[in-house]
Amino acid sequence: MATALIIGAGGVGRVVAHKCVMNNHIFDRIILASRSIGRCVEIQSELPEGAIEIDTVDADNTDEVIALIQKYNPSILINVALPYQDLAIMDACIATKTPYLDTANYEHPDEAKFEYKLQWARDEKFKEAGIMGLLGSGFDPGATNVFCAYAQKHYFDEIHTIDILDCNAGDHGYPFATNFNPEINLREVSAKGRYWENGEWIETAPMEIMQVWDYPEVGPKDSYLLYHEEMESLVKHIKGLKRIRFFMTFGQSYLTHMKCLENVGMLGIEPVEHQGMKIVPIEFLKTLLPDPASLGPRTKGKTNIGIVAEGLKEGKKRKIYIYQVKDHEECYAEVKSQGVSYTTGVPAVIGAKLMVEGKWSGQGVFNMEQFDPDPFMDEMNTQGLPWKVIEMDV
């Protein structure tokens, strides 16, 4: 039996809280803590009485996180606040020898750039503390890394190319909204694209490369090449890899809105002077846009996220597609959240479950593909994210 301390009561935090309660044979004590108590109260009220406890914390402040951990003595800390808090929370875990899990890699609030460097740099400290840190246990990163490890283990002797294909074909009826934290989402998609080929990172202009991919159960969609964090660890851990790319679908309306907002400076992360006050344009935009959590009851359609891997098996060329399809309305009926929060939150709970059960164990800081993919893939099938593998023509 384990105590789970969840930090962050946003869209993903809601799913993690609900799913931990559904797994209360593993997590017999669940605490949800966030910057403001309002969302925690809302989530608590959706669950059976006494199912979770709630608290507040400013997770930018390591001492506050240490005090919170000392209050509840958790078996694991599940960080689903924002990427800005990763380092402060990791340091609190080191100080208290508490196992750690997150779903997104560290980002500095003043620089639209994300990388594992500063989290990997804590590997020694995690080892010294005798604890495990699992990085990126969402869907992408997360399940997609596990799909790559699964392909490597069961389908290939050598993988040469990987395309990660992320499609959200959900429709929420708003002209423009983001399906997870708007600031993080817009910083990610307005950045330059990047992919890795023959040992080098190749940069592209934002949205420069597009392909139409036919997503099973969804149909053909324009898919744009973006930089995405799981590629940074996969190029280290998938041996023999020659190229890896990441594609995400965007509709024309989303792209037109984003371009206009960018052109008028609304995606800026530098403070600007407005009537004697300093405001950060993208933070103000977040205030204006629909709260991603409010999209849940309105969103219809499906997500389909997967990987296509190509390489060699016993000297013969092979290409496979591993993917997972999820229906937004089904997610809402189960945990009162849309599919993007669901497909992130469920892998976080699976990662936490495997850690507390000791099925995934180690000392130091790890990425998902470093572990045996089989128990994770089995859990996906039973926790609401069933997946498929198909052989493709080479």
Q: Does residue 380 bind ligand NDP (CB under 6 A)?
A: no
Q: Does residue 59 bind ligand NDP (CB under 6 A)?
A: yes
Q: Are 52 and 31 in contact (CB under 8 A)?
A: yes
**Smallest distance from ligand NDP to CB 200, Å:** 25
Considering only 55-63, 111-119, 156-164, 256-264, which stretch makes contact with ligand NDP by CB under 6 A?
A: 55-63
Considering only 67-75, 138-146, 204-212, 312-320, which stretch makes contact with ligand NDP by CB under 6 A?
A: 138-146
Q: Are 144 and 309 in contact (CB under 8 A)?
A: no
Please enumerate in sequence order all residues whose Cβ is within 8 A of that of 285, keeping only pairs 6 or more positions apart, or say none: 182, 183, 186, 261, 266, 267
Binding mask 77-96 for ligand NDP (x = CB under 6 A): ---xxxx-x-----------
Q: What CA–CA distance (Å, rounded) separates 342 from 331?
A: 6
Q: Does residue 303 bind ligand NDP (CB under 6 A)?
A: no
- Token match 């989402």: residue? 185
Please enumerate in sequence order all residues whose Cβ is within 8 A of that of 118, keeping only pairs 6 or more positions apart, or say none: 87, 106
Q: Does residue 58 bind ligand NDP (CB under 6 A)?
A: yes
Q: Are 69 and 93 in contact (CB under 8 A)?
A: yes
Single residue of 114, 139, 250, 321 touching ligand NDP by CB under 6 A? 139
The beta strands (E) that lie in the chain are given as: 2-7, 27-34, 53-56, 76-79, 100-102, 132-135, 158-168, 193-197, 200-204, 210-215, 219-226, 243-249, 272-274, 277-279, 302-313, 316-327, 364-367, 387-392
**Smallest distance from ligand NDP to CB 227, Å:** 14
Q: Does residue 20 bind ligand NDP (CB under 6 A)?
A: no
**Smallest distance from ligand NDP to CB 53, Å:** 16
Single residue of 74, 99, 133, 141 touching ligand NDP by CB under 6 A? 141
Single residue of 4, 12, 377, 380 touching ligand NDP by CB under 6 A? 12
Q: Are 221 and 169 in contact (CB under 8 A)?
A: yes
Q: Does residue 327 bind ligand NDP (CB under 6 A)?
A: no
Q: What CA–CA distance (Å, rounded) separates 51 from 190?
A: 40
Residue nearest to ligand NDP (CB): 10
Considering only 139-147, 296-304, 349-357, 378-386, which stretch makes contact with ligand NDP by CB under 6 A?
A: 139-147
The region that residue 258 occupies, defined by phi over 0 for left and psi between -120 and 50 for alpha, beta otherwise, is alpha
Single residue of 2, 4, 5, 8 touching ligand NDP by CB under 6 A? 8
Q: Are 102 and 366 in contact (CB under 8 A)?
A: no
**Of residues 117-136, those binding ligand NDP (CB under 6 A):** none
Distance of CA 97 to the CA centre of its chain: 24
Q: Does residue 306 bind ligand NDP (CB under 6 A)?
A: no
Single residue of 30, 43, 57, 101 touching ligand NDP by CB under 6 A? 57
What residues make contact with ligand NDP under the rule CB under 6 A?
7-13, 34-36, 39, 57-60, 80-83, 85, 103-104, 138-142, 180-181, 184, 292-293, 340-341, 344
